[in-house]
Amino acid sequence: MQLGLKNRLRLISLFPILLLFSITSYFLYDSYANYKAAQLLKDKLSENRLLNELVGNISRERGMTVIYLGNSSENTLKSLMKQRKIVD
């Protein structure tokens, strides 16, 4: 099977184009996978920030409860009720 000059040139030029397309596709897929991983990490960090704030508020409430149990005053009770509303 003899290939003409035109067909040989097409075949020779098609190989680098396919190689370039496959490399580009690989890097595009890799970038997309990294983007999705970064989005997931961003969401987890946001959740952790909220959980950290919640844990801090719960520990404040626990401390205020101990203070109220040790010293039952009206101001301590008001402060404790405010903190409970924040936690809820």
What are the start-end ranges of the H helices in 1-88? 5-70, 74-87
pTM, two decimals, is 0.60
Nearest CA to 60 among 35, 41, 81? 81
Q: Residue 56 CA to chain centroid, in angstroms?
A: 22
Q: Where are the domains of the chain?
A: 5-87
pLDDT tens digits along 16-63: 999 999 999 999 999 999 999 999 999 999 999 999 999 999 998 898
